[in-house]
Amino acid sequence: MTMTRNLIALSLAAGVALAALPAAAQQAESPAPPKLSWSFSGPFGMYDQAQLQRGFKIYREVCSNCHSMDFLSFRNLADPGGPGFSEAQAAAIAAEYKIKDVDDKGQPIERAGRPADYFPAPFPNAAAAAAANGVAPPDMSTLAKARTYSRGFPWFIFDMFTQYQEQGPDYIHGILTGYEDPPKDFKLPEGGHYNKYFPGHNIAMPQPLQDGQVTYDDGSPQTLAQYSKDVAAFLMWAAEPKLEQRHRIGFQVMIFLIVLSGLLYFTKKKVWHEVEAPREAAHGQDPAKTTL
């Protein structure tokens, strides 16, 4: 017993030592962005169509001036589990874009967009994007899954059970609302902008959104906080367009597996009954002296 107790004490000590480590290492890092509540979080989470439409408006009027979104096409706007535009609306949106193509004679032309076209990039290539912006702005197709922040021990373990999967949108919302004046002792390099939540605080992108910048038609508050949340939700959909289908099928699969496991458990119980509780024992005989 002493040995077991020693062992438990040792492992506890090791655990505490490990847990204490990140505290020292994290001081230099950025603060964690606030955790927001998202309609798409949790096992039954679904996108808020109105929010995705507002987010798309911000993407279209602000973000898309510098950021590409290569993997999304106009038809995706009418896909189930998305912003909920009708096919006609998606086609109308596509028609407002100019798409580079070649005509029957092989001559380069610009034509109106069609639902099957992908969102055109604002710059012809990465070098042009970098020349215009200092740094090439990242593509937005997978951005909400490509950005995160360190959760640290022990939070990353709890995240497994709480299903926290929204680090990306939380981080994007944090960045969009995290612009502020640099502290006095912070030396901001030329062309940089101070952002509370950006690793190293020096971000190339100037503050993209201000209060009142984009007009909402549905009466939602036209504030930076609302804009940031809406565009982060939109980017989450852009990165994970099949989330609703995943949650729906996931629930069905879970129910199926739990029922199946239950049935298999009782099957196993029945099969093993003779081995685990020999009937000789029940009759007060010594099972070692009989055969199974």
Partner 1 sequence: MSGHSTYQPQNKVMQWLETRLPIGGLIHSSFVAYPTPRNLNYWWTFGGILSFMLGVQIITGIVLAMHYTAHVDLAFRSVEMIMRDVNYGWLLRYVHATGASMFFLAVYIHMFRGIYYGSYKAPREVLWILGVIIYLLMMATGFMGYVLVWGQMSFWAATVITNLFSALPGIGEAIVTWLWGGYAVGNPTLNRFFSLHYLLPFVIAGVVVLHVWALHVAGQNNPTGIEPKSDKDTVPFTPYATAKDSFAIAVFCILFAWFVFYIPGYLGHADNYIPANPAVTPAEIVPEWYYLPFYAILRSIPNKLLGVLALFSSIGILAFLPWLDTSRVRSARYRPLFKQFFWLWVIACIGLGYLGSKPPEGAYVLISRIFTAYYFGFFIIILPLLGIFEKTKPLPNSISDSVLKAKA
How far is it, in rounded angstroms, from Cα 177 to Cα 198? 11
Altogether, the residues listed in the chain come to a count of: 292
Q: Binders of partner 1 among 126-155, rule CB under 8 A?
A: 138-139, 141-143, 145-148, 153
Give the range of 89-97, 100-108, 163-171, 217-225 binding partner 1 by CB under 8 A. Answer: 163-171
Q: Binders of partner 1 among 218-257, rule CB under 8 A?
A: 239, 241-242, 245-247, 249-251, 253-254, 257
Residue closer to partner 1 by CB (options 21, 88) is: 21
Alpha carbon 286 to its chain's center: 62
Residue closer to partner 1 by CB (options 105, 270) is: 270
Q: Binders of partner 1 among 22-61, rule CB under 8 A?
A: 22, 24-25, 43
How far is it, in rounded angstroms, from Cα 173 to Cα 42? 19
285 binds partner 1 (CB under 8 A): no
260 binds partner 1 (CB under 8 A): yes
Q: What secondary structure does DSSP assign to 138-201, as a single string?
A: PPSSSHHHH------TTHHHHHHHHT---HHHHHHHHHHH-B-PPPTT--PPTT-EEBTTSTTS
70 binds partner 1 (CB under 8 A): yes
How far is it, in rounded angstroms, from Cα 226 to Cα 232? 10
Check: CB of residue 118 under 8 Å from CB of residue 215: no
* Cα angle for residues 258, 262, 264 (degrees, 5° grid): 115
Residues that bind partner 1 (CB under 8 A): 3-4, 6-7, 10-11, 14, 17-18, 21-22, 24-25, 43, 70-71, 76, 138-139, 141-143, 145-148, 153, 159-160, 163, 165, 167-168, 199, 239, 241-242, 245-247, 249-251, 253-254, 257-258, 260-261, 264-265, 267-268, 271-272, 275, 281, 287-288, 291-292
